[in-house]
Structure 1
Amino acid sequence: MHPLIALVTLLTVVLMSVTMVLVGRARGKYGVQAPATTGHEGFERAFRVQMNTQEAAVLFLPTLWVAAWFGNPEWAALAGAVWLAGRIWYAAAYAVPGRNRGPGFLIGLLALAALLLMALWGVIWTLVFAA
């Protein structure tokens, strides 16, 4: 694995870990006992950020790895870093009522789309020309 891909992967794990810690803090702050997933709006925002981040990471990580393996790892790492920046923006905006999380979501979505195109191109190229 390319070191930049490993770095983006580890930073994604850090992001997921931070959102997990924030949910735990919100549980204590707002008195939402596990296993409840509803309660105070502040808790629900933290919980949705965590769940949305995990859901997005399930799509992002394998796409990042395939794009790096069958394409250019530096370009894949750059798109991965953009995805991370978008997800951080999204998480920060979601946590505050009234803030627009759309731009962060769009940045992450576009970065994921770029990775998906890189991955598909690389796999198809390999199947057609390296076979």
Structure 2
Amino acid sequence: MILLPEKIRVALLVNGALHRVAQRDNLPAPDPVPLLKLFNPCGAATWLASELGEDGDTLFGLADLGFGCPELGHFSLNEIASVRLPLGLRIERDQHFSSHHPLSLWTQTARRLGSLTWAEMSLKRNGGVPNRNGRA
């Protein structure tokens, strides 16, 4: 399976370039939606990416390795692609993933719930609309 199809690669590169321009020009950082979801088919690790660096390897987004503390930051596509799992499996791309929620909402929801999986269920169920407690 191709982890990063060309169409998604280009969109991630554009988001990364927009972020760099905002930093250079002292503008507010953009808050794009995640465009790529990678996951471990044998475990809880999940990554959402919204940007790709100029090097073509450094992704920016939300990583959840299954320890209950999703983290926003940079991760290497090459390192993720090199992971070898039991039975010859590898990290996979969720081919059906799409979102209209910005990365900041994903991050807030995943941290509150302790997992990207729970955040995805919550955002799908509630549509990102806060409930009575002001939470998505």
Q: Please classify the TM superposition score into its range, dividing by the shorter chain length.
A: 0.3 to 0.5
TM-score, normalised with respect to structure 1: 0.34
Which of structures 1 and 2 has the larger relative contact order (alpha carbons within 8 angstroms, sep 6+)? 1
**Bigger proportion of residues as strand:** 2
TM-score, normalised with respect to structure 2: 0.33
Larger radius of gyration: 1
